[in-house]
Structure 1
Amino acid sequence: MSVFLITIPVLLETTNQPGKLVNQRRRVFLSGHYAAGEPWRVFAAAGLATVGIASFTLTFMLGTNNALFRPDDLVGKSIEPALPEAVRLVARWGPLNATRAMLPLTGGLIGLLGMSKVLVF
């Protein structure tokens, strides 16, 4: 954020030669690259855990979601689903949804621990 708020405006205000401007920007960019040479795997894991919500939903929840929508569509046609089946589906969906909700939280925690250097790999 400091690059956007501080460095770029200073470069633009103090440099009037295009070659020098792009060279300075390159040096800032490369300095950031070298400083960021820290372990990146922890942040990749955080990102995967966070976006894993989509693949988890498609892999583990799609069948249950579809099975829950089917009877709901029938209710409008005066056809009631069987109570035991509805209870079973909703009871199955609950833990799946709780697990799915934990994925972004887990990703955030991994990222936070990575930023604070408590977790490094």
Structure 2
Amino acid sequence: MRVSRRSMLKGGALAGAVAATPAVAAMVKPSALVVFDSRIPESAAFAAAHRGAAMIDLAHGTAEGVRAINSPRAVTGVTRWSDWTALRGVLEAQGLRLSEETRAAAPLSGRTHLFRWTMTAR
């Protein structure tokens, strides 16, 4: 067998593609489920920043939408405190744990009871 520059380049390209496959698969993992309330400008803006993710708008329903999702890997949202406390119990029952919780800035609506939170699979 004769080794040429062309065969070396083909072999190198194939080896690079095989090595990159797990890295590419990790980058394409699904986005978090986003929970928001379209009646609140800050929450709607948060959802708009997460285009392409699965979304649940609390203006159209309650935590039933979250219960319908089977085993989400991550859920994030900007909601009122009352919605957040109700959702947290539902998500904990599905095996998720709190990984982030902060009071959200609300300059558009002047609300002081908005929270940005994230829950992830254990």
Q: TM-score, normalised by structure 1?
A: 0.29
Larger Rg computed on CA atoms: 1
More strand by share: 2
Q: TM-score, normalised by structure 2?
A: 0.29
More helix by share: 1
User: Which has the bigger relative contact order, CA under 8 A and spacing at least 6?
Assistant: 1
